[in-house]
Structure 1
Amino acid sequence: MTAVTTETTGQAPFDPARPLMGVEEEYVVVDPVTRAAAPHAGAVVQRAAGALGGRTNLEITLYQVEAKTGPHARAAGLEEDLRRMREAVAAAAREEGLAVVASGTPVLGDVVPPPIIEGPRYEVGIQNYRALHDEQSICAGHVHVHLPDREHAVLVGNHLRPWLPVLITLMANSPFWTGRDTGYASWRTLCWGKWPVAGPPPYFSSLDEYERLTGTLAEAGVLVDPGTIFWDVRPSARLPTIEVRVTDVPATAAEAALLAMVARGLVMTGLRRVEHGDPGPAPSAELLRAAYWQAARDGLDGHGIDPMTGERRPARDLAGALLRHIAPALEETGDLADVTARLKALYAAGTGAVRQRAAYTRRGRAEDVVDDLVARLLT
């Protein structure tokens, strides 16, 4: 189940001026005493279902809880839903003597290999992907944006590809891995990139080309099912949405709302260009891969690579270029001033990765990082 569904929209017509958007998030369950990742996601999901119904579930390992908002046309409604959703999951964890954190990776705990949830689909996945599951206790933030059809979703995805590294820098929130500072702002990005159908999607000229390639991958045994097409932008297999799934889970609800507004702005901007016959830019796969790595390593306070030119530029300059690129769309939805203010606040406070390291530096204790993440979950 995902964030924007035909059931929850009531077959709502597509509105190009303000497309519906929804968010899926994954959280790490932790022991509030040891602060280590705790394999009790099943109990948290069961309790949270009382408040969230089917909008919460397990996600690959017993360390992770996934939760989803409903679809929203306006950012204020989405942010309110995000806060209610996070509070429901946090309350369920407290009732079980646990806590949850929004971090792209577990800060503490012996999580390799993780306990994988049971079920036929996951059994096939283990047979297929084997030790790739060892680092799957990672948590992402996904944004769904309503589009008219899958053809538009594939073509709009071409326009998003060059901007995906910037989204990684803005939401970088996974510097630690089981007690160690990895030296990266988004270690989750590196873990996830090992999978065979992950990272930036290829450039596609049409839905037919997309379906031919994914069909070939399925026949070759690379995919378990359409849900294992893990590219960072993809058309939903079941829903009228494009899914932007490139970032770490944002540390705060406010940052999750920022991510959703930016993602919708990118989708709207891409859609307008597709409708004017623009098939989208085609940066080289090598430059895009390098831009991903640079963004994951250095985050917002370092330099990034412009995948269109290969130029090395301050990451904040690239973020500014992103804002200028989507400003007309944000103006149309009424979100431009809000997004601008939130970006300034993010620049001042630092990304999730910066704040995690600051919490560690105060006393040199990874436990303090977990405590800080718990406190920030609802902010």
Structure 2
Amino acid sequence: MNVSPSPSAASGGRAPTIGVEEEFFLVDPRTRLIVPAGPRVAARAAGAVGDLVTKEFALCQVEGRTPPCGSARELRQELERVRGALVTAAREEGVRLCASGTAVLQGPGPAEVADHPRYRAGTLQYRSMLDDFAISALHVHVHLPDRELAVLTGNHLRPWLPLLIALSANSPYHRGCDTGYASWRAVIRSRFPCLGPPPHAASWQEHERLAVLIADTEAMLDAGMPFWDLRPNPRLPTLEIRAMDVLQDLDDTVAVAVLLRALVVTAAAAAEGGDPGPAWEGEVLRAACWRAARDGWSGEGFDARTGLMRPLDDLAGELVDFVRPALEDFGDLEEVTALFRRLAERGDGATRQRAAATGGSGTAAVVDGLVSATAGSYGGQG
């Protein structure tokens, strides 16, 4: 993803650009099992959108990514273009594109992985922990080229990670079983000592020092490329937010992206004003993220300011109020309020997956519903 320079809105400039990465599974339309068609589908889709698509670590996955976008409308157009190319390419290769955080149905054994030096190093280091690490995420990039400011801004965003996991929860099934969790993807990630909320750091230098210390234990593959849920991207001038499951509906993806832009801008302004942000302990945030992964958008969630568990609908309203000036400045208020209305009315992706299983033929109906939602209005189920 290339992110073009734009002034930080926290410093009085125009809206910073945003970019999105979406990871998808590829499934057989007859068996509904994941299939190792990623390289073929990515190569075919690249004919339409170039390097905005790529294969993934697991051969059963592909990734689509947008160029930098200045508005919700532009982001939606780019997501439609990239998703549409992947939907079409998948169908032409005899498979289907599926937006779920985990594989609903999978054959025996681990998913096949690409033969790449980095992947081989990861397998050597983490061993059987990678056997079921085929998971699909939504990553959002917000342009923030100042590394020091990005770290300080991340301190403010850390306590909101449980809420982001809850609103994006879209992985209740794994290998044909209902896990009892709303985001099993978040649980799989939490097994790794180097994933989850980043440590609170007082500076970019401290952020780097902590990454090096963790990498020295071999709990992290590369200190230069940490995989925390928040990070100044190692190659791009962005703050990257990585906590979310991939979402079924494109409208939800757009809304989450512009919500995160408003949150980054609001937090960056506070950091520039000298506010260090709440220094919640990593153990507290990991516990709150676990609760969010279990329950999704139901019941209660972690209040980023008080640390208390409170109704999620109340927290959503307070988050919107917190970032309202930025949402209004960028014309994104309705996008975000509509997202929370949808969550209140229909629940999260996990709720919708379970409803499909109840109303149809079990997990096969879950996969069919995901495929249909992923394809949206630009390709159908085929």
TM-score (norm 2): 0.94
Q: Percent identity?
A: 48
Residues 81-120 of structure 1 correspond to what in structure 2 (within 5 A)?
81-110=78-107, 112-120=109-117
Which of 211, 214, 220 aligns to 1:214? It is 211
Amino acid at match of 2:86: V
CA shift for structure 1 position 320: 1.9
Is residue 165 of structure 2 the alignment partner of residue 200 of structure 1?
no
Is residue 46 of structure 2 the alignment partner of residue 49 of structure 1?
yes
CA shift for structure 1 position 198: 0.5
- Higher mean alpha-carbon deviation, 48-57 vs 88-97, is at 48-57
CA shift for structure 1 position 13: 4.7
**Contact 1:291/1:306, CA 8 A, preserved across alignment:** no
- Higher mean alpha-carbon deviation, 282-291 vs 53-62, is at 282-291
Amino acid at match of 1:172: A
CA shift for structure 1 position 311: 2.0
- Higher mean alpha-carbon deviation, 14-23 vs 241-250, is at 14-23
Is residue 131 of structure 2 the alignment partner of residue 134 of structure 1?
yes
Q: Residue deviations 1:127-184, cap 9 Å, x none?
A: 1111111121110000000013111111100010111111111111001001111111
Is residue 224 of structure 2 the alignment partner of residue 232 of structure 1?
no
Residues 184-199 of structure 1 correspond to what in structure 2 (within 5 A)?
184-199=181-196
Paired residues in the alignment total 373
Hey, what's the Cα distance between the residues in 1 that align with 2:108 and 2:282?
32
Unpaired segments ≥5 residues, structure 2: 377-382
CA shift for structure 1 position 111: 5.9
Hey, what's the Cα distance between the residues in 1 that align with 2:307 and 2:108?
37
Is residue 352 of structure 2 the alignment partner of residue 351 of structure 1?
no
CA shift for structure 1 position 378: 3.7
Is residue 27 of structure 2 the alignment partner of residue 30 of structure 1?
yes
Hey, what's the Cα distance between the residues in 1 that align with 2:115 and 2:162?
34
CA shift for structure 1 position 347: 1.8
Corresponding position of 1:260: 257
Distance 1:303 1:75, change over 3 A: same
Amino acid at match of 2:368: D
**Contact 2:208/2:223, CA 8 A, preserved across alignment:** no
Corresponding position of 1:171: 168
Q: Residue deviations 1:326-370, cap 9 Å, x none?
A: 111111111112211232123212211111011000134111111
Hey, what's the Cα distance between the residues in 1 that align with 2:269 and 2:295?
32
Which of 293, 300, 305 aligns to 2:290? It is 293
Is residue 247 of structure 2 the alignment partner of residue 250 of structure 1?
yes
Amino acid at match of 2:253: A
Corresponding position of 1:318: 315
**Contact 2:58/2:114, CA 8 A, preserved across alignment:** yes
**Contact 2:72/2:258, CA 8 A, preserved across alignment:** yes
CA shift for structure 1 position 32: 0.5
Q: Residue deviations 1:220-273, cap 9 Å, x none?
A: 433333575111000011111000000100111111101101111110110110
CA shift for structure 1 position 217: 2.7
Hey, what's the Cα distance between the residues in 2 that align with 1:285 and 1:218?
18
**Contact 1:37/1:111, CA 8 A, preserved across alignment:** no
TM-score (norm 1): 0.94
Unpaired segments ≥5 residues, structure 1: none
Which of 135, 142, 145 aligns to 1:145? It is 142
Amino acid at match of 1:271: A
Distance 1:267 1:349, change over 3 A: same
CA shift for structure 1 position 79: 0.9
CA shift for structure 1 position 298: 0.8
**Contact 2:7/2:14, CA 8 A, preserved across alignment:** no
CA shift for structure 1 position 321: 1.9
Is residue 323 of structure 2 the alignment partner of residue 332 of structure 1?
no
